[in-house]
Amino acid sequence: MINKNSKIYIAGHNGMVGSAIYKKLNEKSYQNLIIRNRKQLNLLDQKKTFAFLRKNKPDFVIIAAARAGGIIANSKFKDKFLYENLQIQNNLIHGAYLAGVKNLIFLGSSCIYPKHCPQPMKETYLLSGPLEDTNDAYAIAKIAGLKLCQYYKENLNVNYFSLIPPNLFGPKDNYDTNNSHFFPALIKKIYFSKINKKKNLTIWGSGRPKRELMFSEDFAEVLIFFMKKKLKTLI
């Protein structure tokens, strides 16, 4: 059961989602948060990741670390998105198991669902059709992480779960034109159109797709609720 003294390792604490989780846990007076930046711990390095987890032995691991980006980045660097995300999550999930960590939350992505998924989406729609080809490499990696947690939970007596957030936005979001997701890109476009006093604003797309948006700190509250309410009755 989680308490204010539980050792909680947040992988990816400098990113938009990880920083929101770190902030909210601090605000709620959790005393034993473990963080490392990329220079201190390269999660692509299996040996160092395993050693770090064995040494620190956290009670909970939260995987918010990933190589992420928008449509352009996902389309252009599919090799890196697939390899690096598989490597990061495999090192953390299997390393946590080897270190005796019983509780782990892996953050997935809504892009794991089929391109033409019926709405509203249900969990049972996973793997029921082709993925969106612009970000299929990222989606495949996330599906692998979700399934790895599922199989470890089923076969190895651990509490390894996946949470699938919608489109998130918030502090520390990426506003780079070539790498950002659609919402920060839209914010940036509107901002510069306003300060440059442009009369017109071009928005890509047909205007028909619907998106779910959630503030990153609200999602952090959901994750903490899950940790407190859903994990306490398990191992």
Give phi and psi for 159, each to the nearest 5.
Answer: -100, 80
Alpha-carbon span 44 to 84, nearest angstrom: 7
Residue of 22, 97, 138, 160 with catalytic role: 138
Helices (H), the chain: 16-27, 46-56, 71-76, 78-98, 136-156, 182-195, 216-229
Alpha-carbon span 145 to 106, nearest angstrom: 7
113 included as an active-site residue: no
Alpha-carbon span 145 to 80, nearest angstrom: 16
Task: Judge contact between 57 and 7, C-beta under 8 A.
Answer: yes
Q: Is 215 helix (H, G, I), strand (E, B) or coil?
A: strand
Q: Output DSSP code: residue 221.
A: H
Nearest Cα neighbor of 127 from 117, 141, 137, 138 is 117
Strand partners, 33: 8
Half-sphere exposure of 95 (CA within 13 A, CB side): 27
Return the active site residues.
138
